[in-house]
Amino acid sequence: MTSITTQTRSVVVERDIAHPPEKLWRALTQPHLMEEWLMKNDFKPQVGHGFQLRGEWGGVLDCEVLAVEPNKTLSYTWNHEHPDPAYALRSVVTFTLTPTATGTHLRVEQAGFHPDQKQAYGGAHAGWKAFLGNLDQLLDRLD
């Protein structure tokens, strides 16, 4: 076993959306709409509100609202606790909305770390076993 790393990484996905920021904001913050594109949830647009996102695969994400600036910025924690570190993740998700001539530029940044990152890279035994388990699950979900 190698030591646990706390190295932070981030992923950014951006998209131009042909709808105004106000409408996009509703989809990002109203629970029944969030459920349609993201996951089941008990979200409220209040800083400090703790909520859960429940995936169709049975996974639960523990979240807390960090920032709410209507029609501009939304940020919450996105943590997945799991006894198997290969499945665990601690991160912060931030949505940024910028009005454009044709609608809204939507950017999501997810920054955080996977407690098992280094171990998985090092090819440690437990890491690989867990990885191959993940892969099986992923393959089941394709098609």
Partner 1 sequence: MTDAHDLLFRTLADPTRRGIFERLCRDGEQTVGALTALAGVSQPAVSKHLGVLKQAGLVSDRHEGRQTHYSAQVNALAPLVDWTSRMAGFWETRFDNLEDLLNRMDQ
Instruction: Please count the residues of this chain forming the interface with partner 1, following the rule CB under 8 A.
Output: 33
Q: Which of 38, 60, 66, 126 binds partner 1 (CB under 8 A)?
A: 38
The binder of partner 1 chosen from 2, 5, 27, 66 (CB under 8 A): 27
Edge-to-edge order in the sheet of strand 89-100: 9-17, 103-113, 89-100, 73-80, 60-69, 50-54, 40-41
Cβ-count burial of 49 within 10 angstroms (0-12 exposed, 13-18 middle, 19+ buried)?
middle
Kindly state the DSSP code that residue 12 receives in the 8-state scheme.
Answer: E
Chain residues that interact with partner 1, rule: CB under 8 A:
9-11, 13, 15, 17-19, 23-24, 26-27, 33, 36-38, 89, 106, 108, 110, 114, 117, 120-121, 123, 125, 128, 131-132, 135, 138-139, 142
